[in-house]
Amino acid sequence: MIIRSKAPLRLGLAGGGTDVSPYSDIYGGAILNATINMYSYATIEPTNDNRIVFEYPDRYIVETYDSRAEIPPEGEFILHKGVYNRIIKDFGLKPLSFRLTTFVDAPAGSGVGTSSTLVVSIIGAFAEWLNLPLGEYDIAQLAYDIERNDLMMAGGKQDQYAATFGGFNFMEFIGDKVIVNPLRVRNRYKDELAHNLVLYYTETSRFSSNIIEAQAQNVTDNKEESINAMHQLKGQAIKMKEALLRGDIDAVGPILDRSWAFKKQMTDKISNDFLDNIYRVALEAGATGGKVSGAGGGGFMFFYCPDVNRYRVVDALEKLGGHARRYEFTDEGLKTWTN
């Protein structure tokens, strides 16, 4: 028997950062995101040798343990161990014996939700194998609890819900409550957006926790510029929702441009000279707006390129050393199955 799962990565189109505590706890946050056909995959192979094996096949990394109820969350497979420990604890299970193999279509730290999506896919595989009574909100919340509370990893709340639910979603964050509002965006609008929105990998990565911690500290310190920037970002998420539902796709560029300006005001760690130069080159080649994906500092950026400008923008950006990545939007979230 083999158990598999996959969960989609996401693009945070607007409102990113307003899902991070303490801002979301005090003021409430709003984000619009959409999942794409890049995935995190998990495969569980049950065994009877009283061993637990974690494997990254693309990196040739394997860790093996004697079967036990808890594995210290350290080393290369912190997320895997965090999920396993909570599954055993929450459902009162005896130690399991299995091999868990995982793979993600994007590098860690690239800004498309890789870590949280990996956690969701692992939870999904365990839920499929053990027939656990977990709905979509349950899986997303458990993934959040594991990352933010058990493993003390700084971050927001959107990624776990995007990976679990899939599609275009307008998400609201009110204290501990998360409300996922699926958007009925017409297919032709999605196709136009995917055509015009260039996804560009800068060939860099970053530790998002450092940026998120600085952003959270600015809220704790009641820094007016940072907090006002987050208020404005929340407003841009509402404008993005209205543009997509109306089919005013060319409005996406200016919304992204304003969002990027506000996002950089949250903390000085979000951008740098390297990213600012990429942004300038994209606009000079015909983009009308864009932003870094995720917390900032590196990884993927995306740019809205109306008409046929995408080809000029891609050509200009690839001369800087990164590369454009083709993708499509996907409506499906976490999927699990058994062979």
Task: Give me the amino acid identity at 13.
Answer: L
Output the six-digit token pair for 288: 């009308």
SS3 93: coil
Sign of the Cα pseudo-torsion (157, 163, 164, 169, in order): positive
Task: Give me the amino acid identity at 285.
Answer: A
Write the DSSP assignment of 165-217 as a string of letters.
H-SEEEEEEETTEEEEEE----HHHHHHHHHHEEEEE-S----HHHHHHHHHH
| 169 vs 181: CA distance, rounded Å | 5
Active site includes 273?
no
Spatial contact of 69 and 125, defined as CB atoms under 8 Å apart: no
Assign 3-class secondary structure to 142-160.
HHHHHHHHHCCCCCCCHHH
Select which of 19, 105, 159, 257 is catalytic.
159
SS3 102: strand
Beta carbons within 8 Å of 214's beta carbon, 6+ residues apart: 267, 268, 269
Residues recognised as catalytic: 159
